[in-house]
Amino acid sequence: MIQNGRALRQQHVPSELVHREGEVDALTASLGGGPSGMTENTIVTGPSGAGKTSTTRYVLRKLEDARLDVETGFVDCIGANSSTGALAGLFRDSDRSAPLDPRANARTVLINRLRELDDEFVAVLDEADVLEDKQVIHALYGLPNVTTVLISVNYDDLLINCDTRIQKRIRTFQHVEFDQYGDAQLADILTKRANVGLVPGSIAEDTIWYMADQAAGDARLAITILRLAAKQCTDRRQDEITTDVVDDVVENARSEIASRYIEKLSTHQRILYEVIKQEGTIQAGDLYAQYRERASDPMAERTLRSYLNSMEREGLIEQQGGGRYTEYALPA
């Protein structure tokens, strides 16, 4: 049944994106690929599974193909949410990683390395709202050869923990907003993936539409369902993915996405998650108190709220109530 497994993976960026033409054009123009050649710092926002990351990676790839004077770096700030971690991640992704002198200020060294690059550098900070220290945004903004792209679900979440100076900088960024996919758009995405990844005749159009409905606008979930359904049929030597197979794998697909997110959590985020997991349901004040007992260098409460909001958006936890009566729990 499977003829190209890579096309069925969530991380795969296809050679052609569908239903994101406007966003591709806007990002391309912001990153210097338009007629003017001018670059603009950019914020990309939209709900989870709306294609923000894959579209940005797609544009970066096209930009590197078209221009010899551009380098790019991409870092997921969930697992690298300190200034030094984010900067080091950018270098690793750009294949310019090099050992750091332990006696030196790593953040300063990395910023200076960026400043000394001959080429223009596009720095993409995915999940930028969970950065512990958003001073890195100000530092990147001050480099004339660096264009910064911040990806986040919510625009306002980027402003949390920012002083007025950084907020002013962020508000000058171009804003490219993604809407949630509709069922018809997800069906198109799944059809193209299936055409490349599966043997012809392996899935009917009605099943693709059913799969899209189950994903409810989340392309990550839709693609994961398709991959797990194909794997189950292969393991069971079935020739066709049916709606019954979709029903069998949909919860596993949700669990896989959640597990992948949990694996990326930083130390502070993981402490919060483990406390909630241990307690089942816990009030915010008690959660913060237990967190401070376990963390060697505790973060401020507003930073913790940012982490919790991010985990809630990804379906890892649920939040009830508000203010001092806020409670956190694992999903039912």
How do the residues of the chain divide into helix, strand and coil, expressed in percent and rounded to 5? 55, 15, 35
Strands of the sheet with 42-45, listed across from one edge: 70-76, 120-126, 146-152, 42-45, 174-177
Residue 222 CB coordination number (10 Å): 28
Cβ–Cβ under 8 Å, residues 215 and 199: no
pLDDT in tens, the chain (332 residues): 999 999 999 889 888 889 999 999 999 999 987 666 778 999 999 999 999 999 999 999 999 998 888 999 999 998 888 888 899 999 989 888 766 665 566 888 899 999 999 889 999 999 999 888 889 999 999 999 999 999 999 898 888 778 899 999 999 999 999 999 999 999 999 999 999 999 999 999 999 999 999 999 999 999 999 999 999 999 999 999 999 999 999 999 999 999 999 998 989 999 999 999 999 999 999 999 999 999 998 988 888 988 998 899 888 999 998 877 899 999 87
Q: What is the pLDDT of residue 18?
A: 92
Q: What is the pLDDT of residue 332?
A: 78
Backbone angles phi, psi at 161, to 5 degrees: 70, 15
Query: With a threshold of 0.85, does the pTM exceed it?
Result: yes
Domains of the chain: 20-177 (3.40.50.300), 183-262 (1.10.8.60), 265-329 (1.10.10.10)
Beta bridge partners, 329, equal 281, 318
Q: What is the pLDDT of residue 100?
A: 66
